[in-house]
Amino acid sequence: MSNFKQKKVLITGGASGIGLLTGKMALEKGAGVLIIWDINVVLLDKVIAELSSEGYQVLGQLVDVSDRHSVAAAAKTCIETDNIPDILILNAGIVSGKFFHEHLEGEIERTIGVNVLGVMLTAKAFLPAMIQRGSGHLVTIASAAGMLANPRMAVYAASKWAAYGWSESVRLEMKQLKTGIKVTTVTPSYIDTGMFEGVSTNYVIPKLTPKRAASAIIKGISKNRIFVRMPFMVYTIPFVKGILPVRWFDFLVGKGLGVYKSMHGFTGRK
């Protein structure tokens, strides 16, 4: 089991949403240092001041995870100051919520940059040092969209499919090489943080509260779980997709559960 006590935890996109909540819970579990990477300097400074005033050791770095130079510089600082993370939570993500052909110039590149390159560049910056140390825990915040196609989510789903496949492949690599690095892949459905404002859900696949999502992530890390999927229905996706013909699956998920219309009212974070 991964113990948080006195561990160094780094979270990308950690100044808001489930990233912030997960960081707070890690500190409550006894983490020695919380390192927050975020692109929003106002939120970053505010969070650092608040948590520091509560007696926690919190470090913040202004980082654009889609920029390899930004990631490399921030990681270099961490390594040189003996702040190689024990637990690295790859949480930063964005969504535009449009039909594929409606995307504006730069939106596709930005989504792939943050959701895919951001995950890979950050992990690549720290993995060699973590492997040399012989311990660590890599946590990828993917999405149920990484297993389930959905209208108005083509680019987002593509990015999360990539993150999901990457995370699973790295898990197998770390195991095969006997590095001591644990890997957990998180695949939540919609979380009520504002990022998916306007989406429609139902009692079968409800919108998750941020607290519930963060708690599940912390528990999953503590228990070294390979997957953290939420809500429960997300666990059934691989099985149901495997046994049903595609058109039957589309009917069940699209018309029966209404998933394929869930993004119709999407407005996103203001």
Name the residues annotated as catalytic: 156
Nearest-Å Rg of the Cα atoms of the chain is: 18
Tokens of 22: 């997960």
Q: What is the secondary structure of 72-141 as a DSSP string?
A: HHHHHHHHHTT---SEEEE---------GGGPPTTHHHHHHIIIIIHHHHHHHHHHHHHHHHT-EEEEEE
For residue 256, the tally of other CB atoms under 10 A from its CB is: 10
C-alpha span between 267 and 270 (Å, rounded): 8
Alpha-carbon torsion (56, 36, 75, 176), positive or negative: positive
Residue 53: Cβ within 10 Å count: 9
Q: What are 160's two structure tokens?
A: 């999360």
Sequence-distant (≥ 6) Cβ neighbours of residue 74 within 8 angstroms:
37, 61, 63, 125
Say how far apart CA 165 and CA 104 lie, in whole Å: 27
CA distances from 186 to 108, 175, 220, 236 (A): 23, 18, 9, 15
CA 138 to CA 51: how far, in whole Å? 24
Angle at 252 between CA 250 and CA 254, to 5 degrees: 55
